[in-house]
């Protein structure tokens, strides 16, 4: 019998400066009963109280201020290795290689396939909260 901590619903944070895209991804995940918070920038996410509770991060690669790659690196360096999914409208092989080297869960092209995104989210959540039993 496993007597671990009480299971909490995992939080997925979405960071994208494109409001329409951010809301579309949020709606998809909420329809699947995930708890979702949205942010227009990395800075807004980093100053929110949700950084510590986020189990999966979905972020755009190209944003003003801090890019998705820079955010992922910042989180790791500050001891918060949140499983991350990067999404970009400008995919390229160097970005994909960097994402792989940085241990990003998935590197997806916009607009991304819903099934692929859901598969990536589930993979990220498995990594965030592995079965301790």
Supply the CATH classification number for the domain 19-128.
3.40.50.2300
**What does DSSP say about strands 35-39 and 54-60: parallel, antiparallel, or unpaired?**
unpaired
Residue 48 and residue 37 in contact, taking contact as beta carbons nearer than 8 Å: yes
% of the chain beyond a pLDDT of 90: 86
> What is the end-to-end Cα distance of the chain in Å, rounded?
8
Confidence of residue 127 (pLDDT cuts 50, 70, 90): confident
Q: How many residues does the chain have?
A: 133
Give the pLDDT confidence of 47-87 residue by residue, as tens digits. Answer: 999 999 999 999 999 999 999 999 999 999 999 999 999 99
CA 69 to each of CA 9, 28, 94, 118: distance values in angstroms, whole numbers, following the listed order: 26, 24, 12, 21
Let me know: does 125 contact 56? Beta carbons within 8 Å.
yes
For the chain, give every domain's residue range.
19-128
The 10s digit of each residue's pLDDT in 26-52 is 999 999 999 999 999 999 999 999 999
């Amino acid at each position: 019998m496993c007597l671990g901590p009480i299971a909490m619903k995992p939080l997925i944070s979405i960071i994208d400066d494109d409001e329409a895209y951010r809301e579309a991804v949020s709606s998809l995940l909420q329809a699947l009963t995930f708890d979702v918070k949205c942010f227009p920038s990395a800075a807004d996410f980093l100053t929110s109280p949700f950084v510590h509770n986020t189990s999966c991060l979905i972020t755009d690669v190209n944003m003003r201020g801090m890019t998705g790659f820079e955010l992922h690196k910042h989180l790791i360096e500050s001891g918060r290795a949140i499983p991350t999914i990067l999404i970009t409208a400008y995919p390229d092989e160097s970005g994909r290689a960097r994402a792989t080297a940085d241990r990003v869960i998935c590197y997806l092209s916009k607009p991304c396939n819903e099934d692929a995104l859901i598969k990536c989210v589930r993979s990220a959540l498995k990594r965030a909260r592995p079965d301790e039993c």
